[in-house]
Amino acid sequence: MKNDVVSVIVKGVMPTSNGCAVFLGDDNKTFVIYVDHSVGNAIQMTLDGVKKERPLTHDLIGHILTGLGASIDHVVINDVNEGTFFARILLRMENELGKKIVELDARPSDSTVLALQHQRPLFVARKVYDSVEDMTEILERVLRQQSDENESPDEEEDK
């Protein structure tokens, strides 16, 4: 599996007019998937370690898995077709009957939230990684712009 997939992390979540842009990548490349606002917020809340009063959908899914004796092994973004990404969640189940790996089809957005919440690896298939556009410079530009905007009010007060 090592050469077939690339380990990635969430490098940033940015709101857009239609949802959120989630930047994923490694040291060599960054790519973006677009998700709806609710899942983008769930990803950002998980990254920020926000504690919730009541479980949200992704929290509930995690509780159900735990209750059934299953855990997330890893997530793979395994395909892209005309800008739509596809993912697989690999679950590990172990009980008195033995060990079992279960592979589920899932949206990459939901898969990413679950992988982050359970601190499990997120991979992208090599064929997907090689086919997507590198957005590293765009992410760096947006992060610089946000940093500049955050510094500006302080600078005005100093004058």
The reply to whether 10 falls in a domain is yes
Average pLDDT over residues 28-43: 95
C-alpha 53 chain-centroid distance: 22
Q: For position 153, what pLDDT does the model report?
A: 59
Which among 75, 74, 80 is positioned nearest to 127, based on CA atoms?
80
pLDDT exceeds cutoff 90 at 145: no
Own/partner long-range contacts of 98-104 (Cβ < 8 Å, ≥24 apart): 101/73, 102/70
Q: What is the DSSP letter of 78?
A: E
The reply to whether 56 falls in a domain is yes
pLDDT in tens, 95-120: 788 899 999 999 999 999 999 999 99
Average pLDDT over residues 81-103: 91
The reply to whether 79 falls in a domain is no
Which among 88, 108, 89 is positioned nearest to 39, based on CA atoms?
108
Query: Which CATH number goes with the domain that contains 35?
Result: 3.10.690.10
Q: Of the given ranges (13-22, 116-125, 135-144), which has the lowest mean pLDDT?
A: 135-144
Q: Is 56 helix (H, G, I), strand (E, B) or coil?
A: coil
Domain span including residue 62:
5-69+109-158
Which residue, chain included where needed, has tokens 């410079």?
A: 137
pLDDT exceeds cutoff 70 at 129: yes
Output the CA torsion sign for 49, 51, 57, 62: positive
> How many structural domains comprise the chain?
1
